[in-house]
Amino acid sequence: MYFEKGTICTGFVRTIFLLYICCEKILFLFFFLFIHHLAIFVFKGYVAYSLWKERDGAVGLAQIDAWIGIVACVVMMIYSMFVQSNSSIVFFTLRFELLFLIPYVWVMNRIAYDWG
């Protein structure tokens, strides 16, 4: 029998079960983050497709997308500055994405005026 007491398979199943019981909140967090990132990628894909096909409201969606990105970068800069420091020294990190998001907002504002 494969699941006899003391076999490797029984120990593996027992370990997985204990990890699930002990880490139920962590598994929920990973699932939430996966769904969150999936929703962001779908939204960015829809914005890109709308801009490509020149649909109505595409520029407004692109502006929303850019501002969400800027807010996320600023939040992560603050989070890494205060939460992840190991000593009393506070390190400030500048996110590389901001170098692309700020001109993106500027261009989308110019296009919004011409678009309609």
Share of the chain above pLDDT 90, in %: 28
Question: What is the pTM assigned to this prediction?
Answer: 0.66
The answer to whether residue 116 is domain-embedded is yes
Same domain, 35 and 61: no
Same domain, 87 and 35: no
The answer to whether residue 5 is domain-embedded is yes
Read off the pLDDT of residues 48-72 as tens digits, 9 standing for 90 and up. 999 999 888 899 999 999 998 899 8
Same domain, 90 and 115: yes
Same domain, 29 and 67: no
Query: How far are the Cα atoms of 30, 56, 75, 78 from residue 12, in angstroms, in the given order?
Result: 22, 55, 40, 41
The tally of domains found in the chain comes to 2
Six token digits for residue 91: 């390190």
Same domain, 65 and 21: no
Higher pLDDT, 31 or 76: 76
Same domain, 28 and 68: no
Domain limits for position 96:
56-116
Same domain, 114 and 84: yes
Q: What is the mean pLDDT of the chain?
A: 77
Interatomic CA distance for residues 93 and 96, integer angstroms: 9
Interatomic CA distance for residues 83 and 71, integer angstroms: 18
Six token digits for residue 47: 């914005």
